Each structure stands twice: as C-alpha cells, then as structure tokens.
Structure 1
C-alpha cells in the first residue's frame, strides 16, 4: 500500500496536468476571451438573420439618399423585432463608398450598427466591393465597427493573409457553443473577404483609380488549413463534433453554372440577376478561376459545411448544390434601400435556423421580406437538391 500511494499521487498529478494543458489549449484558441460566449438556445436551436447589400451613404447631397438610409434602418428594426435572432450577419456592401465623403465615411457605420447595439444582438460583418473606394476601405470600416459596437465579433486576419491589409483583411471565424458552460464549440461561422472595389489614391477624384482584385486571396487557403488543424488539436475532429457555415460577399465563379441549371421547383427564390462578368469572383482561363485555392480549401478542409452564403447580386435569392464538391450555395436577400433594384424584388433578409447542436444537423432557411412575407423556404441537409 505504501508503494501504491506515491504512484496514485503521481497519477493524480499527471491527470491534473493533462486537464490543465487541455484547458489552456482550449482557452488559447478561443479568439474572444473577453466577449460573451455565443451559444445555442436551451431548445437546441440557433437562429441567424443575414442583412446584405445595405448600401448606406448613397447621394448624401440629395434628399433620397438619407431617406433611403432611414428606410433601411427601419427595415432592420422591424425585422430584428420580429425575428429575434441569436446572431446577425451583415454580408457586405454596407456602404456605397464612392458616394461618401472622407470626413464622414466611417461614421456611417454608427448608423448601420445602431439597431444591433440597441437590442444588444451579437453580429459579424463581411465587406464588399463598394466598401473599398477612394474614401473608405475594408479596414477603415472594421476598425470603426470594433470601436462603436461592443458585440461586434468582426476581426482581422493575421498579417499577410487575405492580400492587401487595407482592402482585404476581413477573414476570420467565430465559435458557437452548445451551452454557455461547454468547453468546445459545436458550430464555426467562417467569414471571408472577397475584396473588390478600388484602392485609395492621392487624387480626390482619380481619373484612373486602382482596382482591387475581386476574389478571396490565395493566401487564405493555407490559413483555412492551419486554422482547422488548430481546432482539431484543441477540440477534436471537426467531422465528428462541429458544423460550419460560411459567408463571403462576392460569390465564387462556379455559381454561374449553377444558375444555368436551376430548377425552380427544387431551388426556389427570385432569380432575376443574370450572372456573368462582375457578378462573381473573377475567373481566369483555368477551370478553377482565381478563387480556386480558397474554394478548394474551404470545401476540402471544413467539415459539415452547411452552406456558403453570398450577397452582391441583388436580384437573386436561391440556393443550389454545387455538384463537384457537394456543397450548397445560397444567395442572400437585398437588405437595404440603397443599391440597384427593380420593381417586385422587394427588400428583406435570409434567415437560417440550426435545428440541433449535432454536426449532422439540418438547417432551415428562408427569405423574409420587410412586410413579413416568407418565401423560398428550404432545408439545407444531405437530401437537399438531390
């Protein structure tokens, strides 16, 4: 017995050490140690509402510009009060940057996030091509958002990831836990910066502005692989323990083929924007396109990916499965009164509800219009579009 006691004490000490190392690793990988932990509801569901292409700040020198912004704020207030989401995503083109003035460009962010601040709803943003212009950059918007919105979970990628640090930094992920006291997340929300727009120049109105590449930079592919490896080491296999959902403003170029084969009976929703040059991430002569490294890394490395969700094309709101990877793609709904539109398109949001904390859960999604009408309801899961 005397010989056994030191051994048991040593074993107990080892167990404490292992537990301490595991806890430290879990804490180290959590990117939000000072923010409230995001978690599923007690009924095992999690609801996300997506606003896209709000285009605040248009034509401030005309009456209709500020009127459109006021209408967009009212839409947000109406939808948020009705839907009561657990999380909100603002999926790009927050501001029509080419219409804003240098002295007030970033303060438009205050107006956009005010309804979320008032209701204390956590949220994330991506930035779009109109958010990179002569008087605004993606980094400018992110910094302002972080300074005025305590429940913003938007952050920037490490240096060298995403291309130009000013115009493409918004690539990151957000963990969601099954309960407040859970040690490991059951859902990862991924956000990618598709860049686009124009870079700042020294001229106030440059005759030849410098265009910014409009696709997710190839450096993001290696970052995805590294981040997934860290998650697996800290939290266990993603395939067995975590679901995922991804957001990017400009859709990958493969959506053009999806549109050509849509079946409205299985893939419902407005399909009014014809896809072509400028409507998706720029393709080169190869079959992968410039967004190929990002697309391959996302679909190969991120397990249980329920969908990739984009905005950019205001007249589309459908979902379809990409056949070579088996991943579902969805368009958002044009959510602001700014930006182009046509009669009958309407304004609204995309809702997504995770049905359980399990990695193989299905996700209900639908378009909700400003007046409350619901349309294009589908279930994202293994049986969708098969």
Structure 2
C-alpha cells in the first residue's frame, strides 16, 4: 500500500477534530454512549480528519484474554469507519495496560485505508512510536501534524509522576523541525500535558477552566520539550488530553498550549456532563490556529 496523504481541500481550510480519553472497554453501556457521542460530534463538525489523542481504551479493564485490545480498538474506530472519516491516533497511559505492546497496537490499523497512524521506533530501549503527518496542497507540503507519545510514568530517569516527551524524543523532534520549512505551520499532539500548562494557568491569560483536583497531571520534572519547541515560531499549538476535568488553553510564548476536553464516558468526569472535543482548522494560505 502506498503512502497515505492528508491533503488540503481545494477551497477551504482542513478541519480536524481532536477526540481524547474515550476509555472504551469499561462496559457495553459506556461504549454505546461513546459511539453516540462520536457520531454526534462528527455529524456536527464534518471533519476531514480525526485525531484520537490517547486513552482510547481503559487497558486496566482487560480480562487478560488474547485479542482483547484489538477487539476494543475496533469498537473505538467503528464510528469513523462507518462515517468514512480519516483518522490517526497516539496512545495514552491506559492504552498500554492490556495484552498488547505499543508496537503491536500501532500496527493494528496499518491496512485500514482510513488510518494514517504510523509506526517508527525512536529508541532501542523504549518503543515510542512518534510520527509526522505532512499535509499536502497540490503535491507540496503545506503544514505538519506531529504525534508524540508521552509514556505512562516517570520522566528523565525520575520514576515518580506521570510520563513526558523524553530527551531522545526531543532530539528527534528538533531535527525534524529544523528540516521543515519555517513558513509551514506545525501542530503537535500529545497525551499527558507538560508542566508548562500549570505555569501558564497560574501566570498568563487563559481561556477555559481548570477543575482537575490535582491541577495538571504532568511529570514531576520539567522536560526539554516545550522549551525546544518554543525555538520554532511555526509550531502553532501543542494539544493534550489526560486530565478529564481540564479544558483550558492559552498562549505560552508564541505557542498555544491547549487541552482537548475528555470526550468519552469511560473513566471519571468530566463534571456536569460536559463531554466535548476540540476542533482545529489548518489554513494553507496563512498559518493560523483556530479552535
């Protein structure tokens, strides 16, 4: 199968929606509600592309049987498949708690014509499958989507706290960003937020709310990730998931740090039934970030 390309529509921006923290696998009732809410949002937005930004499945609910995760992933994707909508995903901390490794999960959709999910091991000791999706216009790259895995627990050799974009990933990402045309917009998606989200909330104007009891569920130590990305003015946004009760965003330097509010019915929250998603328009004529 040849390379699958994301392409700008001829007469409008590319519309993508971020769906996060669906947490399939916790029971038929919540899975059915997840199907319904995906259908509702896709019908409402009519996106060109859907990004699932982690915790698609609650792996800790696995019954231990072989094939459990693949069965649940097919449930996650049945809506976009029925609606003929292209998609890609990254994994969250709960996705890798069942019967498959990250590498095995990332390969499950490689023969699906709608899937743009890619594999690529960046380290011999940690199978993190970060990847880049160029967006084309008339055969030329006009923008980039970057998908980064933030692991489960620990950062920079510190075993406590949540995961992060590790130093070897940052080195790889910097090399990629240096190779890009600096006039082309870059949109980055992760699962676990960074420490800068909390700093931004406390010190800069933000839109939205922080309702997570623990604030921001980030690593215990600061990764080099955001500082490195900030060197590149064409990186317009970093979008995360993970914290089910947070839905804020703001401008940190020249890069937007934003949450995609929890979409699914599995797991806890969000409060007051505020299930949602984030919609972004990528414009080929002028770099911009609209949400």
TM-score, length-normalised on structure 2? Answer: 0.89
Contact 1:245 1:307 in 2 (8 A): yes
**1:251 aligned residue (193, 199, 202):** 193
State the match for 1:4 in structure 2: none
State the match for 2:163 in structure 1: 214
The reply to whether residue 225 of structure 1 matches residue 174 of structure 2 is yes
State the match for 1:239 in structure 2: 182
State the match for 1:88 in structure 2: 50
Paired with 1:102 and 1:139, the residues of 2 have a C-alpha distance of 18
Relative contact order: is structure 1 or structure 2 higher (C-alpha 8 Å, sep ≥ 6)? 2
Q: Which has the higher strand share?
A: 2
Contact 2:245 2:271 in 1 (8 A): no
* Cα distance per residue 1:318-358 (max 9 Å; x no partner): 211124xx32100001111001115414212111112x313
State the match for 1:172 in structure 2: 131
State the match for 1:76 in structure 2: 38
Paired with 1:364 and 1:213, the residues of 2 have a C-alpha distance of 29
Contact 2:16 2:279 in 1 (8 A): yes
The reply to whether residue 357 of structure 1 matches residue 287 of structure 2 is no
State the match for 1:51 in structure 2: 19
Unaligned runs of 5+ in 2: none
The structural deviation recorded for 1:276 is: 4.5
The structural deviation recorded for 1:153 is: 1.1
Contact 2:209 2:248 in 1 (8 A): yes
* Cα distance per residue 1:52-79 (max 9 Å; x no partner): 0000111xxxxxx210001001111121
Contact 2:161 2:220 in 1 (8 A): no
* Cα distance per residue 1:130-162 (max 9 Å; x no partner): 112153433332122335x3221111223417x
Paired with 1:142 and 1:56, the residues of 2 have a C-alpha distance of 17
Where do 1:92-111 residues align within 5 Å?
Answer: 92-103=54-65, 104-111=68-75
- In our comparison, the structure showing a higher alpha carbon Rg is 1
Aligned residues: 285
**1:317 aligned residue (247, 255, 273):** 247
State the match for 1:34 in structure 2: 2
State the match for 2:121 in structure 1: 158
Paired with 1:79 and 1:352, the residues of 2 have a C-alpha distance of 13
Paired with 2:129 and 2:47, the residues of 1 have a C-alpha distance of 23
Paired with 2:177 and 2:196, the residues of 1 have a C-alpha distance of 24
SS at match of 1:361: coil
Unaligned runs of 5+ in 1: 1-32, 59-64, 199-209, 233-237, 366-386
Paired with 2:169 and 2:92, the residues of 1 have a C-alpha distance of 17
**2:78 aligned residue (114, 118, 124):** 114
CA RMSD of aligned residues (A): 2.4
State the match for 2:228 in structure 1: 297
Paired with 1:128 and 1:228, the residues of 2 have a C-alpha distance of 23
State the match for 1:139 in structure 2: 103
